[in-house]
Amino acid sequence: MSAFAATLLDVWETGYRQPPARQALAVLAGCLKIPAEVAAACSVGERDQLLMTARQSLLGWRLPTRADCPACGELLELNLDLREFLSVKGTEPRSELLVDSLRVIWRLPTAGDLADVATFDSTEGARRELLSRCIVSVRELESDAIVAPSEWTDAVGEAVEVAIERAAPESDFWIHLNCPACGHSWKVMFDIVTYFWSELDFLAQQLLAEVHQLATAYGWHEQQILAMSARRRAAYLEMCGA
Ligand SMILES: [Zn+2]
């Protein structure tokens, strides 16, 4: 954690109040030192697996979680294990689809595609941009002639959207829950991006408070404080009555 302190604040600053798709890339770049273009080219499934690796090396496999039973309101304390979500199968990088008399080659959005369109103001604009990236080519079935993007029908876009939705279960991690009080069973989706980000956000805020206290008490610079081990920071904090 001590060597990680400065990195943690860099990652937190880069991803602060950004859409989750961008926070995910900030974590991959900062925590795992993955080059931006490599991270952007990852599928969403690959991105999530890498985030789990980063989370494991920083905070371990255990995921303490709470959930309210939707039937009786009982609070469930869960202790999930990240390893349950590893090795979810990947999908083909490219697939083919027949729409009317057209052969459409499409691919799933990458982590970079999602990060790029996450800041679009209009949902429709984001949707169009994503489709233009994920539709690789459209050809006439009989003549094999290429159909220019300006000629693509709405049916092509709609069919590809449905196909993307169907083909992306690798990014969805469902947790099956049973309420011990009333027996109700249901499932919730586990999202590693928002889960891990909220943990990093908490740690970063805690670290900033420690830097503030030590800088105020001793006049040390931020870099000096961040370079210390967590144990040493805690010892000094105790001495100055924090
Ligand atoms: Zn219940």
- Alpha-carbon gap, residue 144 to 50, rounded angstroms: 39
Report whether 192 contacts 48 (CB < 8 A). yes
Residue 102 has pLDDT above 70, yes or no: yes
Average pLDDT on 26-54 reads 93
188 Cα to the center of ligand 1, angstroms: 14
pLDDT at 162 over 50: yes
Residue 175 CA, ligand 1 centroid: distance in Å: 16
pLDDT number for residue 176:
87
For residue 103, what pLDDT is reported? Answer: 95
- Which residue pairs, CB below 8 angstroms and at least 24 apart, start in 59-68? 59/199, 63/190, 63/195, 65/195, 67/177, 67/188
- Ligand 1 centroid–CA 180 distance in Å is 7
Average the pLDDT over 92-106 and give the result. 88
CA 85 – ligand 1 centroid, Å: 25
Look at residue 142 in the predicted model and tell me its pLDDT. Answer: 92
pLDDT at 186: 93
84 CA → ligand 1 middle, Å: 24
Ligand 1 centre from 74 Cα, in Å?
Answer: 5
pLDDT of 1 strictly over 50: no
* Burial of 221 (C-beta count, 10 Å sphere; 0-12/13-18/19+): exposed
Instruction: Give me the mean pLDDT over the 29-44 stretch.
Output: 93
pLDDT confidence of residue 19: 96
Q: Based on the number of CB atoms within 10 Å of its own CB, is 8 exposed (0-12), middle (13-18) or buried (19 or more)?
A: buried
Q: What is the residue whose two structure tokens read 């999530």? A: 48
Average pLDDT score over residue span 180-196:
92
Query: Where residue 84 falls among pLDDT bands split at 50, 70, 90?
Result: confident
Check whether 4 has a pLDDT greater than 90. Answer: no
Per-residue pLDDT tens over the stretch 222-236: 999 999 999 999 999
Residues in the chain: 242
228 φ/ψ angles, rounded to the nearest 5 degrees: -75, 160
Residue 21: count of CB within 10 angstroms of its CB = 20
Confidence of residue 166 (pLDDT cuts 50, 70, 90): confident
Q: Tell how far the Cα of 24 is from the centroid of ligand 1, in angstroms.
A: 33
Confidence (pLDDT) at 136: 94
Least confident range from 120-124, 172-176, 184-188: namely: 172-176
Please compute the mean of the pLDDT values over residues 108-118 and round it to a whole number: 94
Residue 170's pLDDT band (boundaries 50, 70, 90)? low
CA of 76 to the centre of ligand 1 (A): 9
State the DSSP string of the chain.
Answer: -TTTHHHHHHHHHHHTT--HHHHHHHHHHHHS---HHHHHHSBHHHHHHHHHHHHHHHH-SEEEEEEE-TTT-PEEEEEEEGGGGTT-----SEEEEEETTEEEEEEPPBHHHHHHHTT-S-HHHHHHHHHHHHEEEEEETTT-PBPPGGG--HHHHHHHHHHHHHH-GGG-EEEEEE-TTT--EEEEEE-HHHHHHHHHHHHHHHHHHHHHHHHHHH---HHHHHHS-HHHHHHHHHHTT-
Give the contacts of 27 (CB within 8 A, at least 6 positions apart): 11, 15, 51, 54, 196, 197, 200
pLDDT reading at 205 higher than 90: yes
Cβ < 5 A residues, ion ligand 1: 69, 71-72, 74, 179, 181-182, 184
**What does pLDDT average to over the chain?**
90
Least trusted range by pLDDT, from 80-84, 201-205, 213-217: 80-84
Evaluate whether 68 touches 130 at the Cβ level (below 8 Å).
Answer: no
Ligand 1 centroid to Cα of residue 186, in Å, is: 10
